[in-house]
Amino acid sequence: MHLNITIAQLNFKVGDIIKNLQKVKEAWESSDKKSHLVVFPELAISGYPPEDLLLRLDFLKACNKALKELEEFSAKLSSIAVVGTPYWDGDLYNALVLIGGGRLLGVYKKTYLPNYSVFDEKRYFRKGNEGLVLSTGFCRVGFSICEDIWHPDGWERSYALAGCEVLININASPYYSGKYGFKESFLKARAQDNIAYVVYANLVGGQDELVFDGRSLVIDPEGKLVARAKAFEEDLISVSLPVERIRRKRLLDIRLREREAPANIKEVHVELKEKPEISPRIEESPEGEEELYRALALSLKDYAEKNSFEKVVLGLSGGIDSSLVACLAVDALGRDRVVGVFMPSEFTSRESEEDVKELAKNLGIELVVYPIKEPYGAFLKLLASESLTVAEENLQARLRANILFYLSNRYGWLVLSTSNKSESAVGYTTIYGDMAGGFAPIKDLYKGQVYSLARYRNSISPVIPERVFERPPSAELRPNQTDQDTLPPYELLDRILQLHIEEGLSYEELLQEGFEEEVVQRILRMVKSAEYKRRQAPVGPKVSKRAFGKDWRMPITGYY
């Protein structure tokens, strides 16, 4: 007999308990006839991450009320739902509940609470210390939540020792570049080590600076991928698991006979009837620039739509950063929801103007032009400024930000910042100027990645003028200016920044890598002095192992 499982890989909204509950009901009901179990992601009821909403008792009561409603709803269905939720039971737990037949069948409370990178679960939850097994009459299923499966000595081995053929793990696992390949590899190892099917249900969607890629998986005991949901999209994916296969394989492998199952496992029993066999599917998994581009587009789309912005607006300079952001906005939201603003000064080149107009035409977006020469001159007169210093350069950037935020204020549009990670790392960006915005889509991209993604986008359709790639990058705030007047070449800058920020290499270790002492000193000094700027930057999607934001918590005032 087969165990039929549907993974409901859905995009939930943080705090929208009523609509989240409705999504659960609809997906469950639509999958009921073919499924024994319908599996939802971690904290599906509340949305992920709910952060300090978890410190509100009224919010927790609303989540528990939703579970009661789901219990009543389940009375008319033949399948069991596996749902992630905050669970208040004298204390607060990150929990997985089994609901079916009009009642709450069991509760599993997450054991390993992550408290690193972007995670703060020990701030909110008490850890659980008891496993949960569902006995169905023809197979046994063990349950865990996200971080639990990352530990090789976690519940998966205990469940296998207790005779479970299927291991279900529900997740809200944030994306970053390169993570998926590693994740698939270790999940295959869990399946092989425990001679079991691993069912990995992941969240999809954007939430502030996190983005979730979906790509829920089912892996067989040989470590073979048997089902995979879509990347960066909602999906319902179903699979039939021949559990007899596990028993035959375990007869030939004595590893699980050498240890006893732990006693702290609660078992619930529900008889399940046979259902028709389902043919699984394996969706393609994007890689490289395509994967990264889709992650950024989904994050931008969800940030705008979940915060009820009908349109976005951004400054177009003729440079590579604003060109890429414009492409992302159009691909995420559609051309009718994107407005580009060109704000030339006396230092803006003819080439920049031509490239902006060509980009806007190719993308089919509205372009408005507001020259800043006159207001800039008025400010210089007011301030009695007679020379061109960094202050006068930054004044131009702040005038442009004022125009963008006027349009935002006037029409309710979301301002997109076009600053990248290389610039914000070393402070080569104007606070309350070009770094200002409501959302920063390329905040976690180094300059080299910006070029690579722009090339990728042009491989789909050549919308960015070729000259944008060829001209030296420039802020165009003074005559004949280029970025390299102030910064090392971006190839060198990006490498040092990546080693320092993401790999944690110190000054001495960077010198051992062969970088020049003067260059390393200058870059690290710039990184440190720009901390106060970054603390005031808009949110943007985390797509690297360590992003500025929740992932980077450095003191502004510090002397190390």
What is the rounded CA–CA span in Å between residue 211 and residue 142?
A: 28
The one catalytic residue among 42, 147, 184, 291: 42
Round to whole Å and give the CA distance between 527 and 139: 56
Q: Which of 23, 109, 110, 443 is catalytic?
A: 110
Task: Decide if 139 is catalytic.
Answer: no
Mark 184-199 as b/e (b = at least 16 C-beta within 10 Å).
beebbebbbbbbbbbb
Cα 39 to Cα 145: distance, rounded to the nearest angstrom = 12
Active site residue 146: yes
Angle between helices 447-460 and 288-306 (to 10 degrees): 90
Buried b / exposed e along 414-423 (16+ C-beta atoms within 10 A): bbbbbbbbbb
Nearest CA to 541 out of 289, 188, 210 is that of 210
Q: Which of 142, 179, 177 is nearest to 262 (CA)?
A: 142
CA-CA distance, 268 to 281, in Å (whole number)?
30
Q: What single letter denotes the amino acid at residue 28? A: W
Of the residues 63, 139, 146, 164, only one is catalytic, namely: 146
How many helical (H) and strand (E) elements, i.e. helices and strands, does the chain have?
18, 19
> What tokens does 104 get?
């709450």
The reply to whether 110 belongs to the active site is yes
Q: What DSSP element (H or E) covers 396? A: helix 390-411
- Rounded CA separation 457/196 (Å): 41
**The pairing of beta strand 210-213 with beta strand 204-207:** antiparallel
Q: 82 has which bridge partners?
A: 39, 98
Query: In this structure, are residues 307 and 340 in contact, taking their beta carbons and an 8 Å threshold?
Result: no
The catalytic residues are 42, 110, 146
